Amino acid sequence: MDYDIAVIGGGIQGAGVAQAAAAAGYKVVVFEQAGIASGTSSKSSKLIHGGLRYLESGQFKLVRKTLLERERLIQLAPGLVKPVRFYIPIYTQTTRKSWQIALGLFLYQVLGGFKKYTRFKRLNINKTLPIQNLRMTNLSAMYQYYDAQTDDALLTRAVIRSAESLGAELKCPVKVTRLEFESNIYRITTDNTNESVTAKFIVNVAGPWVNHVLEKVNGTAVSILDCDLVQGTHIVIDAPAPEGVIYVEAPQDQRAVFIMPWKNKTLIGTTEKIYTGDPAKVVATEEEIQYLKKVYSHYILVDDIKVIDSFAGLRVLPVLETSFFSRPRDTVIHESAEQLLTLYGGKLTGYRVTAEQVLAKIQKVMPTNSTHQVSTKNIKLF
């Protein structure tokens, strides 16, 4: 079978690229080795957000982009993306002071274009607060603002369904084992030996497996970026869901941690540590679980914390001589070989606009003559 574009990876970024390419009129195939959203795209913090904490590292362009995409997704997928209140409690020992939080929220409002869900306010801590059992000792201020929440796996599957409705084909579970470039096309070998597939362009969106995919390319020079796999763990505890998302500073190392409602329970995350093993075998460690339990118990006064679930995902971050916190979190779109793009990293919130950027690069090399092009800006998700 001959295709214009082969997308390798069935996470949210691959789903977004498939949808955008199919909407532009290309003949698209998606290869996913396990299951749609089976990797990192089902193990995120479940948030559609602008990234308030990225303002500290100067990533204003990323925050602006994701805030605008947050607003768009609330409109395009109202059944999947819901606005939710966020609360930031400030204590006398908190590293980020009240004025800094207020300034950050004001910048968030500006970068979000003063839209409805960019509003924030300072709450009166002398009145009844919306967070039950919150530690009140040394509480000096509390802010409320808005972001949004989703079921990341359901959102990814909705985008894949949209891509399929536009003509994309899904091959799952199918693993790509070889990419041979010859005569300006890629011949794709998979573990399904009964078919022969070619594509004019490859988009490698395999998450933590991206460099594994590039090692399978033959017939053309390949450029591979050095990257770290950074493990992020979440735990689910048997506690009633909070009224909104609580955004706190970990007492151990001042990292940002979210305490969130999730399926009528409480979700807490995330951690950050280098991972060097098989991406398919990543699991939450006992150290990470205890770290997150300690964060929760520091802020929420309870007698017992019962962990009923835990999960770990892998972020792909470029290798830089900086802390994890300050590394750029936007997607790196890398020209790895002739007619082959690789996506390193990426945010759940920005998947659609990232796909637009990928599509623009493809169209420079391989314009489409389709008269049935539509924009993903207008495609509803269900």
pLDDT score at 318: 80
pLDDT score at 322: 61
Of the chain, the end-to-end C-alpha distance in Å amounts to: 30
pLDDT score at 323: 60
CA distance 227 to 101: 31
CA distance 16 to 289: 32
Q: What is the pTM of this model?
A: 0.96
pLDDT score at 77: 98
CA distance 71 to 44: 19
CA distance 86 to 90: 13
- Domains located in the chain, CATH noted: 2-41+153-226+328-378 (3.50.50.60), 53-149 (no CATH), 228-318 (3.30.9.10)
Q: Which stretches of the chain score pLDDT less than 50?
A: none
pLDDT score at 368: 87
Tell me if the bond preceding 173 is cis, omega within 30° of 0. Answer: yes
pLDDT score at 325: 56
State pLDDT tens for residues 231-285. 999 999 999 999 999 999 999 999 999 999 999 999 999 999 999 999 999 999 9
pLDDT score at 320: 67
pLDDT score at 196: 84
